[in-house]
Structure 1
Amino acid sequence: MEQLRFDQFTKKIYIKAPLQKLYWCWATKAGIETWFLRKAVYTASDGDTRKPDDFIQSGDTYTWEWHNWDGQEKGTILQANGKDFLDFSFANDVCKVSVKLEEKERATLLTLKQYDMPTDEETKMNIYNGCSCGWTFWLANLKAYLEHGIVLNETEFDLTDIPQAGHVYVNM
């Protein structure tokens, strides 16, 4: 068994949905706002804002906002091949995340890898632990959305004033 490393982690999930639908869910404003974000803005390298169903492109920048968190996540799309792979900077450009999609027998295998993370104690807690837990939930949320038409993330109750809400609530 491979030794635990704090500079990366991988999460995998089978989702019974067409690969193209999964890519749309990740690579468009309209898609990512259905299961993951309250608001996403993608800006092309020429400064134009992408339309809701436009696919992101390598070199685009993004600004993401979640339900129940007042902050913003900003980063750059490093790779987007238009069909089954994307890679982006994450956590204020501290690390990177890749999403790979593979058609399997009756489902699509999604593999998310967060990597190039610093290994200081603060990063281990906030990025490794926080993001590893967070992605586990969000990938399950994507599965619930695509297979059952529901989302599990909290949109009804405002948790923004609870200091450790992101570490306590499982459906942030």
Structure 2
Amino acid sequence: METLQWSRFEKQIYIHTSVEKLYQLWATKSGITSWFLSKAVYISKDGTERDAHDYIQAGDSYSWFWHNWDGQEDGKIIQANGKDFLQLTFGNSILDITLKALGNVTLVILNQHDIPEDEDSKLKIFYGCSNGWTFWLTNLKAYVEHGILLNETEINLKENKLSDYVFVNM
């Protein structure tokens, strides 16, 4: 990406672990709730709920719930190759997670694209998600490399109506 485009953004981070470990942290209920969500529900194409350690698959649907936000995100898994790539619907757009082994580290590349270009989407998806993913990728790195979580799980941030715009550790 050479110029700013409202329809997409990219975030990258190096994490000192294997591609396999990071894929498990993104692609299973037990993994994604260890560093990102308070709850995740994955439903397979045949309508059954996936177990905590089952890998998500293309065609699954999901519901995600955060620690300090009452809403939920519902979407579909578009692609899940079982090793280094995931693609899902997210926030009225598409989210790609690519994992690349580079020596003793893994490069995590997050692309959110097909973002509508109306003013509401510019604020909530482009600005909101871009800022949010910067924090969550940092949280993932802290969790994997140091065993700590940076997101707030004990203090109720929802009491502040602007909490999702002012707190960096939602």
> Does TM, scored on the shorter chain, surpass 0.5?
yes
Residue in structure 2 matched with residue 64 of structure 1 by the alignment: 64
1:110 aligns with 2:92: no
Report the 3-state secondary structure (helix = DSSP H, G, I; strand = E; otherwise coil) of the residue aligned with 1:59.
coil
Residue in structure 2 matched with residue 133 of structure 1 by the alignment: 131
How far apart, CA to CA, are the structure 2 residues paired with 1:4 and 1:89? Answer: 22
Residue in structure 1 matched with residue 38 of structure 2 by the alignment: 38
Residue in structure 1 matched with residue 117 of structure 2 by the alignment: 119
1:95 aligns with 2:93: yes
How far apart, CA to CA, are the structure 2 residues paired with 1:157 and 1:102? Answer: 35
How far does residue 106 in structure 1 lie from its aligned partner after superposition? 1.8
Amino acid at match of 1:49: E
Partner residue of 2:150 out of 145, 149, 152: 152
Name the TM-score, length of structure 1 as normaliser.
Answer: 0.97
1:49 aligns with 2:49: yes
How far does residue 161 in structure 1 lie from its aligned partner after superposition? 2.3
Amino acid at match of 1:150: I
Residue in structure 2 matched with residue 20 of structure 1 by the alignment: 20
How far apart, CA to CA, are the structure 1 residues paired with 2:73 and 2:124? Answer: 14
- Partner deviation per Cα, 1:76-123 (whole Å, 9 max, x = no partner): 0000000000000011xx101000000002200000000000111111
Amino acid at match of 1:68: N
Report the 3-state secondary structure (helix = DSSP H, G, I; strand = E; otherwise coil) of the residue aligned with 1:57.
coil
How far apart, CA to CA, are the structure 2 residues paired with 1:102 and 1:2? Answer: 21
Residue in structure 1 matched with residue 73 of structure 2 by the alignment: 73
How far apart, CA to CA, are the structure 1 residues paired with 2:169 and 2:78? Answer: 28
> What CA RMSD, in Å, does the superposition of the two structures yield over aligned residues?
0.8
Q: Is the Cα–Cα contact under 8 Å of residues 87 and 94 in structure 2 kept in the other structure?
A: yes
Report the 3-state secondary structure (helix = DSSP H, G, I; strand = E; otherwise coil) of the residue aligned with 1:46.
coil
Amino acid at match of 1:11: K
How far apart, CA to CA, are the structure 2 residues paired with 1:161 and 1:48? Answer: 36
1:4 aligns with 2:4: yes
How far apart, CA to CA, are the structure 2 residues paired with 1:99 and 1:126? Answer: 20
Which stretches in structure 2 are left out of the alignment for 5+ residues? none
Amino acid at match of 2:64: W
How far apart, CA to CA, are the structure 2 residues paired with 1:156 and 1:16? Answer: 28
How far apart, CA to CA, are the structure 2 residues paired with 1:143 and 1:80? Answer: 22
Amino acid at match of 1:66: W
Report the 3-state secondary structure (helix = DSSP H, G, I; strand = E; otherwise coil) of the residue aligned with 1:133.
helix
Report the 3-state secondary structure (helix = DSSP H, G, I; strand = E; otherwise coil) of the residue aligned with 1:160.
helix
Amino acid at match of 1:154: E
Amino acid at match of 1:53: H
